[in-house]
Structure 1
């Protein structure tokens, strides 16, 4: 059976790109313009890597992409853009984002905990002891989404770290340090709280520089004390990341090892005391999803497709050739980040547990920056950046006008652009269970590669998770 690879939760900062560096790259970009997938403006292919769903309004989704955040408030009929600078990240960062109960959006970034109280139009950093603290990972409470946990870290030098657990119970209006600091030899990667036992929190990471070992830290008293369990097979080359905690049994925890060249999905059924290998993959296994009831596990990646198994047996079978870059399972559907040029969508929706997907968002499916008040941060910061982004992804304006150039394939069909609006994708795209050729007309957008250089001059480079 192939073997899984996890997408790291730790975000990495990138260096500022310069026009001097970007201009020589134009020739290289143009040379690959006819290939199936182009380079993005900030040095990475335009791609989605995370999907967050509002806990009580399934029509509201937020997607983290390599060119900002993408938001829909109508179930995918229309998508709007939020630029990275207004949130507070850039370069190579791939922040964790989540909705809270009242619609607050939180993002863990290198500079701290960033939050928006008005749907993404304005963002601000948590103040006090959280300011300028690297917010490594966060997780909203599934039973009470007004609550969330956050793990932050500061390097102290010589392989030592100040790592702490913080929590909110009021939709990120305030944050409180939970319990004691972690031992200084521990650097965290991911955090998650058990839905069925609020006092149970898991944090994965490494300890013991310079030859690190992977470990799972567990608390049963909300951080007052911690117990450490070694994770077999994990080290500085096989990094451990929490995948999920069973919603009913807090002792069942899934951990993904991101290794090179081999990776693994592990499961513990005794709270971290022991682990067994649940799945192995030959490629990057970037997607993991646990059904809302905990009964079904789905994993997948670009090389391996999508595999599904009952949680009780973990006997996996392949159900689709779609190669997800992320997976999110809500009460409404299973959502996947896809490769537009291989899977036929950037975000897809499945109602048959991953066997087939309908396109919810295409790469060219943004209508422009999020609609906000003129005095908002999005209007002042993202507005001036939109032109370059629009050219880079070949966005089609509402009304059907394409600004990314002409040619490169047939015009999109009416099903792809209902009411003549290129950003209104809805359920366009045939349901499918395997790989497919790029949808017609998608190749035309890459005649706008000079826009990629303009954007590279204005924004920092970032690396995929």
Structure 2
């Protein structure tokens, strides 16, 4: 019976382990993964995490937990979130475009995409016109395309960039020229970058077989355009993965050609041995910050990449209009999960730690209230917080909240904010098949 139970658990664990790549990249730890600040409202911060998300409406003085069940993304956590000027929140999860109109308490899948079986992969809007949204889709075996909204995501329309047999993996708008748009994708013929100089009316396509890297790039995939220089619309960066390594590529001719640009210290190969979480670029385009799930590199033009001392154990990066950087960190390593640096990563000011997180305060009847409050005691204990007495359910005056459901014997849902020992064991087993990380990666 024990053998059958173990086999049943592994049959459940392995598909989840293979599918939940973002969570596994952090080995199941409660880590932050992205940060979004509302334009013109720096007091509003939204931080994605392996345990859902946290939100602050008071410049980081207080933080409320939003559980994955309340966010409603299931097994498809977003890479990042996007604020709209009116306070709406948006996220492309890979199989839905989610939107919240009430500050994160309720989320709905946008019917434009769900009704057409489209899977939104990336979402972007230009800083100069934040109500204009661009979304690419990437569902294999179905038509995909680039879609545009001019009203902050209320409605969408098709653009002329469509593919019957390809997928689109990324979209970026040049900050210095909002008519310049780049879209990365892959067709049966191979990887390519598409560029528009007229805001999506016409397109030029650049195939990228990467023949010049034939010895390094064996069957490259996951080609994603990441950033365009704030000062030069022809200067952009992308990533591509090959043989388990992530390469950071740079183009200075509007995407016609790319060169490998990131060489972390001590690595024999021109690539990162961890999956890339994010990339940020300075206002002048001369400095890059590249985040993996555990490390942060800084690369200045003409210099080798430097591994920054902090953060360790977890990393993400987002540049602010004042040129400060917000960075994810690992509470278990240095006592904070989000910090700010004013000197390009030399020193940090912690913004909050896991123990600063509070239970959600959304009103009764919203998914975050109804699904997250009952999970709070268990989650709080997992991050080192002694839960306060169970809150009273405002929807039933005087009535206590029902107890949290008991843990199941083979539960391993990473979306519940916890990652039980069984999942860690499964993850550890799979990691044995990964390429060993080079040991001498310190500068």
Provide the TM-score with structure 1 as the length reference.
0.70
Tell me what 2:376 maps to. 386
Tell me what 2:3 maps to. none
* Structure 2 counterpart of 1:146, from 131, 143, 151: 131
Q: Is the 8 A contact 2:250 2:259 kept in 1?
A: yes
How far does the alpha carbon of each residue in 1:225-265 deviate from its partner, in whole angstroms, 9 at most, with x for none? 33222342566544322221012321111112234443321
Check 1:456–1:394 CA distance in 2 against 1; reply closer, same or farther (3 A cut). Answer: farther
Tell me what 1:347 maps to. 338
**In structure 2, C-alpha distance between the alignment counterparts of 1:239 and 1:314, rounded to whole Å:** 26
Tell me what 2:247 maps to. 264
Q: Is the 8 A contact 1:102 1:146 kept in 2?
A: no
SS at match of 2:42: coil
How far does the alpha carbon of each residue in 1:102-126 deviate from its partner, in whole angstroms, 9 at most, with x for none? 2211011244211111211122222
**In structure 2, C-alpha distance between the alignment counterparts of 1:402 and 1:294, rounded to whole Å:** 51
How far does the alpha carbon of each residue in 1:139-164 deviate from its partner, in whole angstroms, 9 at most, with x for none? 121212122211123333xxxx4111
How far does the alpha carbon of each residue in 1:319-357 deviate from its partner, in whole angstroms, 9 at most, with x for none? 534345211111242011122223432112111111122
Check 1:106–1:236 CA distance in 2 against 1; reply closer, same or farther (3 A cut). Answer: farther
SS at match of 1:205: strand
* Structure 2 counterpart of 1:108, from 86, 89, 92: 92
Check 1:453–1:66 CA distance in 2 against 1; reply closer, same or farther (3 A cut). Answer: farther
**In structure 1, C-alpha distance between the alignment counterparts of 2:127 and 2:200, rounded to whole Å:** 19
How far does the alpha carbon of each residue in 1:86-112 deviate from its partner, in whole angstroms, 9 at most, with x for none? 333122534432112222110112442
Q: Is the 8 A contact 2:249 2:261 kept in 1?
A: yes
Say if 2:282 is the partner of 1:299: no
Tell me what 2:167 maps to. 187
Q: Which runs of 5+ in 2 are unaligned?
A: 1-5, 14-22, 268-272, 391-405, 432-443
Tell me what 1:126 maps to. 110
Tell me what 2:436 maps to. none
Say if 2:207 is the partner of 1:230: yes
Check 1:253–1:226 CA distance in 2 against 1; reply closer, same or farther (3 A cut). Answer: same
**In structure 1, C-alpha distance between the alignment counterparts of 2:125 and 2:165, rounded to whole Å:** 27
**In structure 1, C-alpha distance between the alignment counterparts of 2:218 and 2:83, rounded to whole Å:** 32
**In structure 2, C-alpha distance between the alignment counterparts of 1:180 and 1:286, rounded to whole Å:** 27
**In structure 1, C-alpha distance between the alignment counterparts of 2:259 and 2:119, rounded to whole Å:** 32
Deviation of 1:134 after TM superposition, in Å, equals 1.0
SS at match of 1:181: strand
Check 1:122–1:402 CA distance in 2 against 1; reply closer, same or farther (3 A cut). Answer: closer
Check 1:315–1:50 CA distance in 2 against 1; reply closer, same or farther (3 A cut). Answer: same
SS at match of 2:317: strand
Check 1:93–1:452 CA distance in 2 against 1; reply closer, same or farther (3 A cut). Answer: farther
Say if 2:257 is the partner of 1:274: yes
**In structure 2, C-alpha distance between the alignment counterparts of 1:347 and 1:453, rounded to whole Å:** 33
**In structure 2, C-alpha distance between the alignment counterparts of 1:205 and 1:391, rounded to whole Å:** 43
SS at match of 2:371: helix
Tell me what 2:196 maps to. 219
Deviation of 1:452 after TM superposition, in Å, equals 9.9
Q: Is the 8 A contact 2:113 2:119 kept in 1?
A: no
Say if 2:357 is the partner of 1:373: no
Q: Is the 8 A contact 2:172 2:181 kept in 1?
A: yes
Aligned residue runs from structure 1 range 13-28, under 5 A: 21=9
Tell me what 1:322 maps to. 311
**In structure 2, C-alpha distance between the alignment counterparts of 1:363 and 1:208, rounded to whole Å:** 45
Paired residue total: 372
**In structure 2, C-alpha distance between the alignment counterparts of 1:265 and 1:375, rounded to whole Å:** 45
**In structure 2, C-alpha distance between the alignment counterparts of 1:328 and 1:95, rounded to whole Å:** 13
Tell me what 1:174 maps to. 155
**In structure 1, C-alpha distance between the alignment counterparts of 2:411 and 2:101, rounded to whole Å:** 28
**In structure 2, C-alpha distance between the alignment counterparts of 1:185 and 1:458, rounded to whole Å:** 33
Check 1:242–1:84 CA distance in 2 against 1; reply closer, same or farther (3 A cut). Answer: same
Check 1:105–1:92 CA distance in 2 against 1; reply closer, same or farther (3 A cut). Answer: closer
SS at match of 1:59: strand
Aligned-residue Cα RMSD (Å) equals 3.4
How far does the alpha carbon of each residue in 1:165-213 deviate from its partner, in whole angstroms, 9 at most, with x for none? 112222222222222413x33222211112222222111222227xxx3
Tell me what 2:238 maps to. 255
Tell me what 1:444 maps to. none
Provide the TM-score with structure 2 as the length reference.
0.74
Q: Which runs of 5+ in 1 are unaligned?
A: 1-17, 26-38, 404-449
**In structure 2, C-alpha distance between the alignment counterparts of 1:388 and 1:169, rounded to whole Å:** 42
Q: Is the 8 A contact 1:388 1:452 kept in 2?
A: no
Say if 2:146 is the partner of 1:165: yes
Q: Is the 8 A contact 2:237 2:250 kept in 1?
A: yes
Tell me what 2:177 maps to. 197
**In structure 1, C-alpha distance between the alignment counterparts of 2:282 and 2:408, rounded to whole Å:** 38
